[in-house]
A and B are shown apart, each in its own frame.
Chain A
Amino acid sequence: MSATSSTIVNLPDQKTATLPKRSYLNNEDGLLSWLLTGDHKRIAILYLISITFFFFIGGAFAGLIRLELLTPQPDLVASDTYNKFFSMHGIIMVFLFLVPSVPATLGNFLMPIMIGAKDLAFPKVNLLSWYLYWVGGLFTLAALVLGGVDTGWTFTTPLSTHYLNTHVVTAAVGIFIIGFSSIFTGLNFIVTIHRMRAPGMTWFRLPLFVWSNYAASILMVLGTPVLAITLVLVALERTIGIGVFDPTKGGDPLLFQHLFWFYSHPAVYIMILPGMGVISEVISTFSRKRVFGYTAVAFSSVAIALFGFFVWAHHMFIMGVSNYSALVFSLLTMLVAVPSAIKIFNWAFTLQKGSITFETPMLYAFGFMGLFTIGGMTGVFLGALGMDIHLTETYFIVAHFHFVMVGGMLMAFLSGVHFWWPKMTGRMYPESLSKLAAVTTFIGFNLTFLPQFILGYLGMPRRYHAYPPEFQVLNVLSTAGATVLGVGYMLPLLYLGWSLKYGAIAGNNPWQATGLEWQIQSPPLTENFIEVPIVDHEAYDYEWLAHKTEQEVTTVG
């Protein structure tokens, strides 16, 4: 694909252009130089490869699940195998893909550059996070290889502690360790943002991507320890029977639910907030406009993060919490929905009076807007108490959180990967193929998950291996959609790989974007900036950029 056929305005002349001689990629050679690196950009690449690996393992399980559900009979695999499939799918996708996805890859790569710093505050801790991620990942894989685990990703007691003979403790240890990786990343980000901003980079000049990762980091640091404690309790209960969750020993099985959701509801915001940051950057760049209501968007991220801690019991409306606490949690849930709505409208109005082009990242961002709106609105169904009774624990929940996590988060992730690919590798991806992938993903996604809302209202329970025959038609549609979706995810893997060698040379700022990361060479030098930048303008200041480009032209000329 030639670059001229696209709307990209600013690619260098492909005949003469070359990649920069020295960059973070070739600064040092050899595997060891990668495995011992302290460079946030190299660590980001290590993460990118790792989470892609796990994403496709998790995806393979998704395929197996959908294949089993093609027919109402339990005919592909036995029920315990099926249970292991959806457990591995959930555990891998949530803990090894969604939680680290944007922060650990794009966040790691970009955040120091965006604030004008040479690296994160603690480069060695950053590398340690990646190793912890892998140690945890290996435990999880070990649990899989040794025979699997069938708790679901929610590890509900007393099922997980007293009634299963699978590798619960191994998997729990894995997640416990991954949790530390996430805590360290969060701490590193918070300290970096507070302490290492370049001169002139005030809080309200920060790109929104930094704000949203900041909010997510707060959640990681405050929420993850609760998950760690919960898993320790599960392991102790299982091995030595301490009895905190066991009613026959005076424990309380509902306590587990409280502790688990106290982490896991904020965790969904850990997963989605950084994605929202990506969307702000992309929409602003391709409409060449400042994000509408910058301050509101920045604060709504922090508001979501803080209020996210007060809604966990909406996962327990049917579990015998008192009617009055159900009321309070339902009200709070509705209140958290508001900042999400605000964001959607701010993004939409960023487009107004813009000068819009439709590059691949923008297509993914549009996909995000639609799917996230559906995901958010169906959250209101679940927050409305009486409705939740009928819908919870059915396929409606499955559809809801896939719309938010997969439709929202994954679209944002792919948007971001395409957007910053030229910066990370110095090369462009092939334009038409990537647009095809974006459209395929969108269609496949809707075909997979829209039928599940209907299945949910009909009452099909989640985590079912066989189901009454009248649900089959909708399940067949869903499986067909999953096939299309699978193709949509495979495509980028192939053409991005291809582009590493054959992609057009991107130049420093192919999108003519304003962020500091676009003012340095692609791929960047190990030290990011040759001299410390001084920031004298707001984020998304396109007039400043136009002015600057003009100056460069005149000085060069």
Chain B
Amino acid sequence: MHISPVLWQFLVKWLNASALFPREASTIAPYADALYFFLLLITVVGLTVVGTLVFGFAIRYRKEKHPVATQVEGSTLLEATWTIIPLALFLICFVWGALLYFRIYNPPTNAMNIYVVGKQWMWKAEHQGGQHEINALHVPIGRPVQLTMISQDVFHSFSVPDFRIKREVIPGRYSTVWFQATTPGTYHLFCTQYCGTNHSQMIGEVTAMTPDDFQKWLQASTSGMSLAQNGERLFASMGCNACHNGTASARGPNLSGVYGSKLQLTNGSEVLVNDAYLRDAILNPSEHITAGYSPIMPTYQGQVSEDGLIDLVEYIKGLQSNYRIQQTLVTSQADQTAPTTPTGVKP
């Protein structure tokens, strides 16, 4: 469908000002709305056709006008027509909807990642730099933002109507959604999956800011420790580095550079190491034994919170060399950060 840009602009302006239509505040929104208008159009056309047929026949062939009915068997041609036309229309909707779906759910590779944890009844967002916020999310405009989300208890669902995005937040499993905000402002953030008593209070605000404002906000709300640094501290305090210390004689596999690689398991299968795999390997180690190691790692189920797991995953993701792990070994002070890896150090 091609609408003249001027007309479209006008329409969007008018709709954005109207109380019957949500604002268009992300790059996805215009695409979603275009499909919406197409669907609306075929619905109205369909309804008009059915209405005209029913009312037309009802008036034309009412008893007073047409006292004796003429029996008709059926008509293959007519029936084929009303099978094929709806089928064709529905297939167009299918293809269009599928393209939109892929656009909404396939994040671009340069997206900036923010973690979101859902729990009864609040949303907790965690930025890379360690900024935490509750029932609020600050994002820059003009930049793709990916959310990696998990629930600590029941199903929740993360929905920002003005961005036309939504995704289920599932216990025990990371799910992701991405968007790119276009207009500074504050937007509703809803939990749309029924999650118990205060389900309707599990709402918040997404604040889209210009990149400059966003930087200022980040600086103002920093807690001083990034997620990776928190993870590093946990890694030491939970004793992970007793086995994963990167030395040749270590009892656990080396974790540096493991993120994004393909890992060979004892059971012969090969897995891609991503956030979900790392989380699972910490909670259910016995199900993922790296080839060449014995199944001695204890489970950390119940000992780390989802926030803690995010910190650990974020730490392991960033590990590019053993140098950092070794530094962790000697870093006894919790809030002391290991020095950054000097370039040129080979593991």
Q: Contact residues of A with B, CB < 8 Å? A: 7, 74, 79-80, 83, 150, 152, 154, 156, 158-159, 162-164, 247-248, 250, 253-254, 287-290, 292-296, 317-320, 323, 326-327, 330-331, 334-335, 337-338, 341-342, 344-346, 348-349, 351-358, 366, 369-370, 373-374, 377-378, 380-381, 383-390, 392-394, 454, 457-459, 461-468, 470, 473, 542-543
Contact = CB atoms under 8 A, between A and B. Distances in A.
Question: Looking at A74, A152, A463, A543, which has the most chain B CB atoms within 10 Å of its CB?
Answer: A463
B104 A341 contact: no
Interface in B3-25: 19-22
Question: Looking at A390, A459, A466, which has the most chain B CB atoms within 10 Å of its CB?
Answer: A390
Nearest to A543: B71
Interface stretch (B77-85, B137-145, B257-265, B327-335): B77-85
Contacts of B66: 353-356
Nearest to A388: B97
Contacts of B102: 323, 386
A542 B69 contact: yes
A319 B195 CA distance: 15
A79 B159 contact: no
A355 B61 contact: yes
B50 A344 contact: yes
Contacts of A287: 61, 69
A7 B63 CA distance: 10
Interface residues of B, number: 88
B304 to A, nearest CB: 12
A459 B190 contact: yes
A159 B74 contact: no
Question: Looking at A250, A344, A345, A358, which has the most chain B CB atoms within 10 Å of its CB?
Answer: A345
A205 B59 CA distance: 30
Contact of A374 (B47, B75, B170): B47
Contacts of A250: 284
Interface in B58-114: 58, 61-63, 66-75, 78-79, 82-83, 86-87, 90-91, 93-94, 96-106
Given A390-B32, A393-B166, A351 B82 contact: no
5 contacts: A158-B155, A345-B50, A356-B62, A377-B39, A385-B98
Contact of A464 (B58, B120, B199): B199
- Give me the 4 closest cross-chain CB pairs, A-B, nearest first: A386-B100, A459-B161, A247-B172, A384-B97
Contacts of A7: 63
B201 interface: yes
A320 B170 contact: yes
A458 B160 CA distance: 10
B36 A457 contact: yes
Interface in B160-219: 161-162, 164-168, 170-173, 175, 188, 190-201, 203
A254 B63 CA distance: 56
B82 A384 contact: no
Interface in B229-245: none
Contacts of A352: 57, 61, 72
A161 B61 CA distance: 58
Given A355-B63, A355-B67, A394-B192, A320 B173 contact: yes
A354 B72 CA distance: 9
Contacts of B62: 355-358
Given A156-B194, A327-B98, 12 more contacts: A162-B153, A162-B154, A254-B173, A293-B74, A330-B94, A330-B98, A351-B61, A353-B61, A355-B61, A384-B39, A387-B97, A461-B190
A473 B91 CA distance: 36
A382 to B, nearest CB: 9
A224 to B, nearest CB: 24
Contacts of A349: 53, 57, 72, 75, 78
Given A356-B63, A385-B97, A253 B170 contact: yes
B146 interface: no
B54 interface: yes
A543 B68 CA distance: 11
Given A330-B94, A383-B93, A461-B192, A79 B201 contact: yes
B301 interface: yes
Contact of A79 (B54, B70, B100, B198): B198
B223 interface: no
B199 A83 contact: yes
A352 B157 CA distance: 48
Given A323-B105, A370-B50, A295 B74 contact: yes
Contacts of A156: 154-155, 193-194
B46 interface: yes
Contacts of A387: 32, 35-36, 39, 97, 100
A353 B75 CA distance: 14
Contacts of A370: 47, 50-51, 54
A28 to B, nearest CB: 42
A393 B166 CA distance: 9
B339 interface: no
A414 B173 CA distance: 46
B172 A248 contact: yes
Nearest to A348: B53
B61 A248 contact: no
A353 B53 contact: no
A169 B93 CA distance: 41
A150 B197 contact: yes
A248 B302 contact: yes
